[in-house]
Amino acid sequence: EDKVVQSPLSLVVHEGDTVTLNCSYEVTNFRSLLWYKQEKKAPTFLFMLTSSGIEKKSGRLSSILDKKELFSILNITATQTGDSAVYLCAVVLTNTGNQFYFGTGTSLTVIP
């Protein structure tokens, strides 16, 4: 059975800290891994990773994929209270169209 596991389940940090969120997967026919941020309702897109070892960056956020060890990490540096959200990892397979397999998410709380 295809599985996506995120850790930790929740995290509380102080503003300015750096955090690393983990996503591991056990799937057949892997195509891509995506990260989303969900603050209230609609998850918003952060990164899509298809190739191993290539870091994607957007401001203070970065992410990398390791297809050999089957995991991805999402790093957030110099955290701000606005980073408080649930971070979701999703895997897309080659043979299931646009079906995304999501992990249960990591809830990040950044306190001032």
Site string for another protein, 56-95 (x = CB under 8 A): --------------------------------x-x-x---
Q: Which stretch binds another protein (CB under 8 A): 16-24, 39-47, 55-63, 65-73?
A: 39-47
Number of residues that bind another protein (CB under 8 A): 22
What's the closest the beta carbon of residue 18 comes to another protein, in angstroms?
Answer: 25
CB atoms within 10 A of CB 109: 13
Give CB contacts under 8 A, 24+ apart, made by 12-15.
12/109, 12/110, 12/111, 13/79, 13/108, 13/109, 13/110, 13/111, 14/79, 14/110, 14/111, 14/112, 15/79, 15/80, 15/81, 15/110, 15/111, 15/112
What's the closest the beta carbon of residue 104 comes to another protein, in angstroms?
Answer: 4
Give the nearer residue to another protein in terms of CB position, either 40 or 68.
40
Q: Which residues bind another protein (CB under 8 A)?
A: 32, 34, 36, 40-45, 88, 90, 92, 96-105
